[in-house]
């Protein structure tokens, strides 16, 4: 009985759809469905202007949810013309029907309906474009002058500030091209080669810190600082420092996200305890004074390690004794923490992920070398190992003297592992504990591989201004 009721419901639905089709072609109406239970079936004739030797059948199986007869008629491919003497096609499996529909929905060359998209609200263009991948945005700038001028639009800056890009990019310098630099996008796993240098100077400058989409550069003579946005070429040369005698320094950079103004600060520290802080708001270097007596000097700073910033405090890695020195950018208070370093550790550097302070370095034993990751335990002030590079990858370094440098130390790390005949780049996602090999960086239109010399991570921001 249930089966009969289902068949009857399907018949009523079919009659209703045919009735709408006949109404569209001005044909006499059908009798109500309840009168069709007992009388003999009648053959429906097509409209007079459509009568010929062919059959006209509706293909309702493409989208059973469409009940609007107008949509069924106007959508291309809904009617199928059969040759004389041939019946309707047999019902196909759903897998076959889906396979036929895929090319229609995934065709990359499908044209957009101008009548629909010309009504797209103008105020939503900036909202959509701000959420495009960075590389896609620069291709879209060539569409029209209006889109090209978005970089100077205040409303577009507001839209970009509401977009959170979790994955950083990496700005690096190569031995073959120390002035221009190359950028790596870990999402698309592609290298991008800027046609113009980030900083318009003939001096050799190296990236030493980054924050808020901006990168801080220092020349090899340790005399001048530069700040720029490598995506938009926004550039500033900082004022000359008050310190005349220069030596090796550790440089850190931070942005005050709470203010919303994009103001940033740059800090350099020397081993003898001398330091300065640059404030972009006042465009001046400040010398707050020497370190307190509780900080043991000299600092024996680890110059291979970039400092990390957590909650407004900048942390530096030191040795003799092993530990960390912190500086509060708001209050100007220095602190030091004694943290024993893991045994047989070399080429180590600080990292940060979600407010956690991490340590990455090489651990060597006999002829074996491995990259290990530690997390600082806040209660015990000890390093706890949380991950290490897969053993299969470590076998590649067996018996070789390996040097490691960390090009990015926030969330996603890029590690450069070098020997005499090898320069391997890998990335490590601290949160997901995933290791990835980075494709080789080669010159455009060439197969020549470039060797990475140094670099830093930065979060791409189209509206960050130096």
Instruction: Work out the pLDDT band at 337, boundaries 50, 70, 90.
Output: very high
The tokens for 195 are 């046609």
Separation of alpha carbons 212 and 209, rounded Å: 11
Residue 277 · residue 283 · CB < 8 Å: no
The tokens for 322 are 């092993």
Residue 323 · residue 339 · CB < 8 Å: yes
Structure-model confidence comparison of residues 408 and 439, the more confident one: 439
Residue 344 · residue 364 · CB < 8 Å: yes
The tokens for 335 are 């602190």
The tokens for 183 are 């950028």
Residue 160 makes CB contacts below 8 A (sequence gap 6+) with 130, 461, 462, 463
Residue 436 · residue 426 · CB < 8 Å: yes
- Among 98-107, 150-159, 382-391, 437-446, which stretch is predicted with the lowest mean pLDDT? 98-107
> Read out DSSP for 14-55?
HHHHHHHHHHHTTPPPPPPGGGGSSSPP-PPPPPGGG-SSSE
Separation of alpha carbons 344 and 364, rounded Å: 6
Counting every residue, how long is the chain? Answer: 466
What pLDDT score does 340 carry? 93
Please give the CATH architecture assigned to the domain spanning 165-458: 6 Propeller (2.120)
Domain with CATH 2.120.10.80 in the chain: 165-458
Instruction: Work out the pLDDT band at 102, boundaries 50, 70, 90.
Output: very low
Structure-model confidence comparison of residues 309 and 139, the more confident one: 309
Separation of alpha carbons 271 and 285, rounded Å: 19
Instruction: Work out the pLDDT band at 17, boundaries 50, 70, 90.
Output: low
Residue 335 · residue 352 · CB < 8 Å: no
What is residue 291's DSSP assignment? P
pLDDT, mean over the chain:
75
* pLDDT, tens digit (0-9, with 9 covering 90-100), for 413-458: 999 998 887 888 999 999 999 999 999 888 777 777 778 888 899 9
Separation of alpha carbons 386 and 429, rounded Å: 12
Which of 56-60, 178-182, 242-246, 439-443 shows the highest mean pLDDT?
Answer: 439-443
CA 345 to chain centre: 32
What pLDDT score does 66 carry? 38
How many CA atoms lie within 13 Å of 404's alpha carbon, on the beta-carbon side? 25
* pLDDT, tens digit (0-9, with 9 covering 90-100), for 23-47: 554 544 444 444 344 444 444 454 4
Rounded to a whole number, what is the distance in angstroms from the first to the last CA of the chain?
Answer: 78
What is residue 264's DSSP assignment? E
Average pLDDT over residues 250-260: 79
The tokens for 63 are 């989208």
Structure-model confidence comparison of residues 441 and 83, the more confident one: 441
Percent of residues in the chain assigned helix, strand, coil, to nearest 5: 20, 35, 45
Average pLDDT over residues 77-91: 43
Instruction: Work out the pLDDT band at 239, boundaries 50, 70, 90.
Output: confident
Q: pTM higher than 0.85 for the full model? A: no
What pLDDT score does 49 carry? 46
Instruction: Work out the pLDDT band at 245, boundaries 50, 70, 90.
Output: very low
Cα distances from 134 to residues 130, 131, 139, 207, in angstroms, run 9, 8, 9, 21
Beta bridge partners of 422: 419
């Amino acid at each position: 009985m249930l089966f009969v009721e289902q068949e009857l419901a399907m018949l009523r639905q079919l009659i209703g759809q045919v009735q709408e089709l006949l109404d569209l072609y001005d044909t006499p109406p059908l009798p109500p469905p309840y009168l069709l239970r007992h009388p003999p079936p009648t053959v429906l004739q097509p409209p007079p202007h459509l009568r010929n030797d062919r059959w006209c059948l509706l293909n309702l199986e493409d989208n059973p949810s469409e009940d609007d007869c107008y949509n069924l008629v106007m959508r291309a491919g809904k009617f199928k013309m059969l040759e004389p003497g041939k019946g309707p096609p047999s019902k196909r499996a759903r897998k076959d029907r889906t396979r036929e529909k895929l090319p229609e929905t995934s065709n990359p060359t499908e044209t957009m309906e101008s009548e629909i998209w010309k009504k797209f609200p103008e105020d939503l263009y900036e909202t959509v474009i701000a959420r495009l991948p960075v590389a896609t945005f620069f291709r879209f700038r060539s569409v029209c002058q209006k889109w090209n001028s978005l970089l100077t639009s205040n409303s577009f800056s507001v839209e970009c500030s509401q977009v959170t890009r979790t994955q950083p990019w990496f700005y690096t310098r190569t031995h073959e091209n120390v002035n221009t630099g190359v950028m790596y996008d870990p999402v698309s796993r592609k290298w991008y080669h800027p046609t113009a240098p980030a900083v318009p100077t003939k001096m050799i400058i190296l990236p030493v810190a980054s924050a808020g989409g901006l990168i801080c550069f220092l020349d090899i003579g340790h005399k001048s600082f530069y700040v720029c946005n490598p995506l938009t070429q926004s550039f500033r040369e900082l004022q000359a420092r008050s310190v005349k005698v220069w030596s090796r320094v550790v440089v850190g950079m931070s942005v005050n996200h709470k203010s919303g103004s994009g103001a940033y600060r740059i800090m350099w520290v020397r081993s003898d305890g001398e330091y300065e802080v640059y404030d972009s708001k006042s465009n001046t270097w400040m010398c707050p004074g020497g370190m307190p007596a509780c900080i043991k000097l000299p600092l024996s700073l680890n110059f291979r390690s970039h400092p990390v910033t957590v909650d407004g405090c900048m942390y530096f890695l030191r040795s003799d004794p092993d530990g960390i020195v912190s500086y509060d950018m708001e209050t100007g208070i220095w602190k030091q923490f004694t943290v024993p370093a893991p045994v047989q550790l070399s080429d180590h550097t600080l990292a940060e992920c979600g407010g956690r302070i991490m340590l990455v370095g090489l651990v060597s034993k006999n002829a074996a070398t491995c990259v290990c990751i530690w997390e600082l335990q806040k209660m015990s002030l000890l390093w706890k190992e949380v991950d290490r590079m897969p053993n299969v990858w470590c076998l590649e370094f067996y018996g070789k003297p390996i040097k490691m440098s960390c090009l990015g130390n926030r969330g996603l790390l890029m590690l450069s592992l070098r020997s005499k005949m090898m320069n391997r780049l890998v990335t490590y996602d601290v949160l997901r504990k995933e290791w990835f090999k980075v494709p080789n960086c080669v010159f455009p239109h060439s197969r020549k591989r470039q060797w990475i010399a140094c670099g830093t991570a930065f979060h791409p921001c189209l509206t960050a201004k130096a």
